[in-house]
């Protein structure tokens, strides 16, 4: 059976596994060596060259999941995105960047690009027309993120890809929030896909990693930069990531189901002023999300009424963890204004709609009823304490 005809769970479980030919073990062996033979071999292997056995084979799984020819694994999501940018941008080039996206990416662009002589423009919005308006004669790359962190905005992937292709511009996307289970941007014309593999690909809050997937030609270009910058991942962590990805589809589908139920619950709650989730029919890009996503994801954000202290609310949670990062099997919440987007100024956060009341909710695989009760009790306890 060809890989293209294999089911999603089969790809997650079997593609990219290393056969244990010596002992016939059921899981991939770990190759921890940092030194390999150089004479009479087809591949000269070295960890910083991203081609140790575990790195090489896990890349095959990621490529299969994202429908690409090749992939690479990095030490973090920021290592992945920074290496990707620097492979396609040089002094005098210009990049168009979506205005609603992960704060770490925004900060990297604002803090580092001027050192390389790279110009950038953040769009005014995230419609295709906003990207077109920002293009300049020296634009070499357009970067998008959909669903975006933390406001869950939805960008027209095919629309941006078609625009870029008409002008000879490379397109990149942060597909972390969707995961390959819910969205495959390559199928809509995007050139390069990246992930913070710390999130859904890892899925257990115990791995820091990043991934980039694209054509062989694009990945060769990224590799030429990455081997010099040294953002490779240890093979022990590569092995852990390959193990975790075996359950990727099962985990994400369970998180999708919980998130959709919780979004509907919060949307009707009298103490919640707004819910951001593309699976809600009230979401402004619901139909677009339905057209380009296979599932609406396990991420949502919401705002409590202004008279309810958001931080106090999270301290009242018992089951849901007030915690950094996202996409683990356990449910977590955080305030973007104090974590993921804290590096932005208040003015920058206000400009993209990130209020101090905004709570980002990474929904886990727990029983829906238990999560609902935890939220209800936290709200009641916060109100009782506040008005006592």
Q: By mean pLDDT, which of 183-187, 247-251, 254-258, 384-388 is the weakest? A: 384-388
Q: Each residue of 61-117: pLDDT tens digit?
A: 999 999 999 999 999 999 999 999 999 999 999 999 999 988 889 999 999 999 999
pLDDT higher than 70, residue 276: yes
Where do the H-state alpha helices sit in the chain?
A: 8-14, 53-66, 77-88, 103-116, 128-134, 157-166, 179-182, 216-229, 235-245, 248-267, 286-292, 310-315, 346-352, 368-387
Q: Are strands 358-362 and 332-334 parallel, antiparallel or unpaired?
A: antiparallel
In this prediction, residue 349 carries a pLDDT of: 81
pLDDT higher than 80, residue 196: yes
Out of 31, 45, 93, 102, which one is annotated catalytic?
102
In this prediction, residue 2 carries a pLDDT of: 47
Instruction: Give strand pairing partners of 194.
Output: 174, 212
Out of 36, 46, 48, 264, which one is annotated catalytic?
48
CA distance 334 to 337: 9
Out of 45, 61, 126, 199, which one is annotated catalytic?
199
Please say if 102 is a catalytic residue.
yes
Q: Each residue of 121-158: pLDDT tens digit?
A: 999 999 999 999 999 999 999 999 999 999 999 999 99
In this prediction, residue 122 carries a pLDDT of: 97
pLDDT higher than 90, residue 381: yes
Query: Do 232 and 55 form a contact (C-beta atoms < 8 A)?
Result: yes
Q: Check residues 103 and 208 and name the one with the higher pLDDT.
A: 208
In this prediction, residue 368 carries a pLDDT of: 98
pLDDT higher than 50, residue 177: yes
Q: Are strands 119-122 and 94-97 parallel, antiparallel or unpaired?
A: parallel
Average pLDDT over residues 360-369: 98
Please say if 48 is a catalytic residue.
yes
Q: What is the band of 3 on the pLDDT scale with cuts at 50, 70, 90?
A: very low
Please say if 156 is a catalytic residue.
no
CA distance 156 to 133: 15
In this prediction, residue 190 carries a pLDDT of: 98
In this prediction, residue 348 carries a pLDDT of: 80
Q: Each residue of 222-237: pLDDT tens digit?
A: 999 999 999 999 999 9
In this prediction, residue 151 carries a pLDDT of: 93
Out of 31, 45, 156, 174, which one is annotated catalytic?
174
Q: Which residue has the tokens 């005014």?
A: 124
Q: Each residue of 303-360: pLDDT tens digit?
A: 999 999 999 999 999 999 999 889 999 999 999 988 767 777 788 887 778 889 999 9
In this prediction, residue 351 carries a pLDDT of: 78
Q: What is the band of 4 on the pLDDT scale with cuts at 50, 70, 90?
A: low
Q: What is the DSSP letter of 100?
A: S
Query: Do 200 and 251 form a contact (C-beta atoms < 8 A)?
Result: yes
Please say if 374 is a catalytic residue.
no
CA torsion 79-84-88-89 (nearest 10°) is -40
In this prediction, residue 127 carries a pLDDT of: 97
Backbone torsions φ then ψ of 23, nearest 5 degrees: -110, -5
Q: What is the band of 1 on the pLDDT scale with cuts at 50, 70, 90?
A: very low
Q: What is the DSSP letter of 334?
A: E
Q: What is the band of 273 on the pLDDT scale with cuts at 50, 70, 90?
A: very high
In this prediction, residue 107 carries a pLDDT of: 92
The mean of the pLDDT values for the chain is 95
Instruction: Show the tokens assigned to 79.
Output: 């290592």
CA distance 116 to 178: 31
């Amino acid at each position: 059976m060809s890989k293209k005809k294999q089911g999603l769970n089969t790809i997650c479980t079997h593609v990219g596994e290393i056969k244990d030919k010596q002992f016939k073990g059921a899981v991939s062996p770990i190759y921890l060596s940092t030194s390999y033979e150089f004479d009479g071999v087809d591949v000269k292997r070295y960890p910083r060259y991203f081609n140790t056995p575990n790195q090489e084979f896990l890349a095959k799984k990621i490529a299969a999941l994202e429908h690409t020819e090749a992939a690479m694994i990095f030490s973090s999501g920021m290592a992945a995105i920074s290496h990707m940018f620097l492979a396609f941008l040089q002094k005098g080039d210009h990049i168009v960047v979506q205005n609603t996206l992960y704060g770490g990416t925004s900060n990297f662009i604002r803090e580092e690009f001027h050192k390389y002589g790279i110009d950038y423009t953040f769009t005014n919005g995230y419609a295709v027309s906003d990207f077109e308006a920002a293009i300049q004669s020296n634009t070499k790359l357009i970067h998008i993120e959909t669903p975006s962190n933390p406001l869950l905005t939805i960008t027209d992937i095919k629309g941006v890809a078609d625009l870029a292709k008409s002008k000879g511009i490379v397109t990149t996307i942060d597909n972390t929030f969707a995961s390959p289970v819910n969205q495959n941007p390559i199928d809509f014309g995007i050139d390069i896909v990246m992930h913070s593999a710390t999130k859904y690909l890892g899925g257990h809050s115990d791995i820091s990693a990043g991934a980039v997937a694209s054509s062989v030609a694009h990945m060769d270009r990224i590799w030429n930069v990455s081997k010099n910058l040294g953002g490779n991942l240890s093979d022990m962590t590569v092995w852990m990531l390959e193990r975790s990805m075996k359950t990727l589809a099962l985990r994400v589908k369970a998180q999708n189901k919980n998130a959709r139920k919780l979004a509907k619950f919060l949307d009707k709650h009298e103490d919640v002023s707004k819910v951001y989730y593309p699976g809600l029919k009230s979401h402004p890009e619901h139909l677009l999300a339905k057209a380009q996503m296979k599932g609406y994801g396990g991420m949502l954000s919401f705002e409590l009424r202004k008279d309810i202290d958001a931080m106090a609310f999270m301290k009242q949670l018992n089951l849901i963890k007030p915690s950094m990062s996202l996409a683990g099997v356990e449910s977590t919440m955080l305030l973007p204004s104090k974590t993921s987007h804290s590096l932005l100024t208040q003015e920058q956060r206000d400009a993209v709609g990130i209020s101090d009341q905004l709570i980002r909710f990474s929904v886990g695989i727990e029983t829906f009823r238990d999560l609902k009760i935890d939220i209800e009790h936290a709200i009641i306890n916060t109100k009782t304490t506040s008005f006592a």
